Amino acid sequence: MPTPARLHVAHALHEVFGEKGRVPDFWDRELGEDAHLAQAMLGLCLRRWGRLQAWVKPKLKDPDRGVPLGTRVALAMGLAQLAWLPGVSDHAAVNESVELAANRELGFVPHKGLVNAILRRAAKDRAALAAELEALPAALDRPAAAERALKAALAPHGAEADLEALWTRLQEPPRPSFRLLEGDIPEGLAPEADLPGCLRLEAGAPFPRPWLEAARGMVQDRSSQALLAYAWDRPVARILDACAAPGGKTTTLALRHPGAALTALEVHPRRVARLRQTMEQRGIAAQVVHADAAEWLERSPEAFDLILLDAPCSGSGTLQKHPEWPWLVHGDLPRLTGLQRRLLTAAAERLAPGGLLIYAVCSWLPEEGEAHRDWLAEARPELCPVAVWPAALGAEGGQDPTAFFRPHPLRWEGEGFQAFAFTR
């Protein structure tokens, strides 16, 4: 029987490559200390999937014949451990993968011997295996969707020639960022000099789970923290967070504008329950509303001094955190861009005179950010772009504060975001 860690990884890989679904949140929650091994295995398989499959193909009797997913998963997991996880023994890497191949739910029983033979040969020289895999073209690991996202990230900065450098950077698992909510900064976290309030995990320090569970701090990506460090000195009495779950940005808005009436919208029932629980744990006074944001905005008579619209999007800017993203189906972009424009139109109607509207997406694709900005500027002349972020967070070459948040992907360590700010 494979270990729980390997079973969890195999289930996640089947979800991505079989169902074309994202790796579920908290997929490793029940693994305890074994979660580190599982995270390493899954990350390597997702980030090196193309190379792993290309390495196996010429070893097959009939290379052009299709290979069942269960076989591909078992081989990828075994090879990843042999090549890149020196702490895993040959025996564990090979035998556990063979057992996965023999699993009727996750494997393909007739290929148990094939998996055993390929992995035993590979285990004879693990250094050579790693060298062979690393020598294969990096482009094997990025399908067309990833290629397009990288080009979109670099084009505004005139850095298209740096595509390979950006891809290489995104293959390293991201370092988590944190924000203090109350009390003292715990041991193992250190403030960042260039982003006030942002905390980073020091090398070798344990993940601060007890501190987070006690609601004394929260995980929040650097880009989200920089996005919400906007410069704005006008009075803010009413705030709307239009797509609020899981609640990190809602929390930051409440802390930035204490005393303001805060409304948080969320459409998914489970995320609503989680959002309410998070607000309660953190002592945040917010009216959490279970509603479709577009419908609620279109029928609401209320006006807000500050609206944050962190819209549903393709997530192309989360490549580093979600290495499964390149392998998913991305055919719903027209639906997403239509929804984004509908939300933006409705949010603009609810903006009070002198108020601030921030639209954001964790995407590099121009149709999800830049195109909406240009359209809004033309369609709603009563709205004016307002520069609320430092020049360094805009496009290359800017010297003045920017109304378009778009950090350089090679010079900024954080998720890929686009955002723009308008005032009425």
The SS3 of residue 290 is strand
DSSP designation for 247: -
The CA–CA distances, whole Å, from 128 to 79, 90, 336, 344, 418 equal 12, 14, 45, 53, 42
- Per DSSP bridges, beta strands 384-385 and 418-423 are antiparallel
Q: Which of 79, 98, 76 is nearest to 88 (CA)?
A: 79
The CA–CA distances, whole Å, from 410 to 148, 169, 230, 404 equal 16, 8, 22, 18
Residues 6+ apart with CB under 8 A from 263: 238, 239, 240, 241, 286, 287, 289, 302, 304
User: What is the C-alpha radius of gyration for the chain, rounded to an integer number of angstroms?
Assistant: 23
- 384 annotated active-site: no
SS3 helix, strand, coil % of the chain, rounded to 5? 50, 15, 40
What single letter denotes the amino acid at residue 93? A
| Cα 260 off chain centre by | 30
Contact (Cβ atoms closer than 8 angstroms) between residue 13 and residue 97: no
State how far the Cα of 111 lies from the Cα of 109, in Å rounded to an integer.
5
- Per DSSP bridges, beta strands 238-241 and 198-201 are unpaired
What tokens does 34 get?
Answer: 């074994």
The SS3 of residue 336 is helix
254, HSE (Cβ side, Cα atoms, 13 Å)? 21
The one catalytic residue in 45, 198, 313, 362 is: 362
- Residues labelled catalytic: 362
